[in-house]
Amino acid sequence: MVGDGPRAGWRETVGARISEVDEGRVVVEIDADAKHRHEGGVVQGGIITQIADAAMGMSLLTLQPEDQANTTIELKINFIRPVVEGRLRAVGRVVEMKRTLGFTEAEVLDDEGRLIAHASSTCLAIPRKGWRK
């Protein structure tokens, strides 16, 4: 189940939260403000990438056996438009799952539903040793 496991300190650090979980789909949100901006005045691309990557990986977790997790081995992201502040929603979904690889994509949307970024990733299935009870 998504959210079961060790404490996700990165979410606390950047203020992200899991807002929706469905089979093969997870939404991660963040309320972007000044602490998320780079010197150019817009939300830093790494923050956008972080929520997209998390939504994609967690979408796979909803379909994986309980003894498996995953780790990103390849990620591509296109930034469509800059954002200064407001709620960002990374909607991750599973494209296809194989025995050892999962293929996912995510759209990052602003609070008006406009596309901010589009990402895709390939993830490797790994064992959930030691943290899944």
Confidence of residue 133 (pLDDT cuts 50, 70, 90): very low
9-127 domain in CATH 3.30.2320.50?
no
Confidence of residue 7 (pLDDT cuts 50, 70, 90): low
Q: Is the predicted pLDDT of residue 4 greater than 60, yes or no? A: no
Say which residue, 123 or 13, is predicted with more confidence: 123
Which residues, other chains included, contact 11 with Cβ-Cβ below 8 Å and sequence gap of 6+? 17, 18, 54
Please provide residue 7's backbone torsions phi and psi, each rounded to the nearest 5 degrees.
Answer: -55, 135
Burial-class residue 16 by CB neighbours within 10 Å (0-12, 13-18, 19+). Answer: buried
Kindly list the domain boundaries of the chain, sorted by start residue.
9-127
User: Which pLDDT tens digit goes with each residue over 41-54?
Assistant: 999 999 999 999 99
User: Which pTM was predicted?
Assistant: 0.91
CB-CB contact of 18 with 62 (8 Å): no
User: Which pLDDT tens digit goes with each residue over 27-79?
Assistant: 999 999 999 999 999 999 999 999 999 999 999 999 999 999 999 999 999 99
Give the integer Cα–Cα distance in Å for 70 and 106: 16
Please provide residue 85's backbone torsions phi and psi, each rounded to the nearest 5 degrees.
Answer: -160, 170
